[in-house]
Structure 1
């Protein structure tokens, strides 16, 4: 016997808005940071593996794709941090009105981009890249 049950609305039905996108992006950056934890573990293992292993790890992470991954992880980390602070302010009961929620979403994105660029510019200026 097949019952006629209501189904949840699919995302194609919803009108996308900024706070929806930032919520999804927060989850995506959280998952990406797990990848960063794996890279950190690989770094530690490469140190334990000796000079040849560490040189191979540096070669991979120093390549264009390695730097692109690190740039993405830096952006994900700052975005996740900023959005986490945003969620903490919500836990205090502030910023739920639409204007404040949209403004804080834009602020988090601006913070993440600015902080990421600052870190990478400073790293480039100090020769860390």
Structure 2
């Protein structure tokens, strides 16, 4: 008997725009992006923190920087990044404890992370501005 091996045609390029990630995969990628964003914008946060505590003149600089609409947008993005990273981190800790590993509960926990982080961002963002 002759064995015939069939080779699967592999794509020559990776079409990223055609890949449909499941919701837990999207939450995982957003967790990494939010962590990187928090790390990269840490100097900006430290600058603002230093300006808010220095003296009355530096606090005036802090108020001028924070009152700019672009700075408010960046701070709102940082707020979302922190809240998403926090909520997704709790989800991943539970997954490490072998809680919610089956597919329906993994999808449900990913959905909860997205909803809670966005809801908290809206609530705290409205309260801050």
The TM-score bracket by the shorter chain reads 0.7 to 0.9
- What residue is the counterpart of 2:4 in the other structure? none
- The aligned runs of 1:95-110 (5 Å cut-off) are 95-110=100-115
State the shift of 1:69 in Å.
0.7
Gaps of 5+ in 1: 1-8, 124-128
Residue 47 and residue 115 in structure 1: after superposition, are their counterparts in 2 closer, same or farther (change >3 A)? closer
Deviations 1:67-104 (A, max 9, x none): 10111111111111100000111111011111111111
Residue 73, structure 1, aligned to residue 95, structure 2: no
Q: In the TM superposition, what whole-angstrom CA distance separates every residue of 1:3-25 from its partner, at most 9, and x where no partner exists? A: xxxxxx95738542211111111
Deviates more, 1:64-73 or 1:46-55: 46-55
Which of 109, 116, 119 is 1:114 aligned to?
A: 119
Residue 93 (str. 1) matches residue 98 (str. 2): yes
- Alpha-carbon distance in 2 for matches of 1:27, 1:75: 13
Q: Counterparts of 1:87 and 1:50 in 2: how far apart (Å)?
A: 41
Deviation, 1:54, is: 3.1
Please state whether the residue corresponding to 2:99 is helix, strand or coil: coil
Higher alpha-carbon Rg: 2
- Superposed CA RMSD: 2.4
Please, which runs of 5 or more residues in structure 2 have no aligned partner? 1-12
TM-score by length of 2: 0.77
Q: CA deviation at 1:53?
A: 3.5
TM-score, normalised with respect to structure 1: 0.77
Once the 2 structures are TM-superposed, how far is the Cα of residue 63 of structure 1 from its aligned partner?
0.8
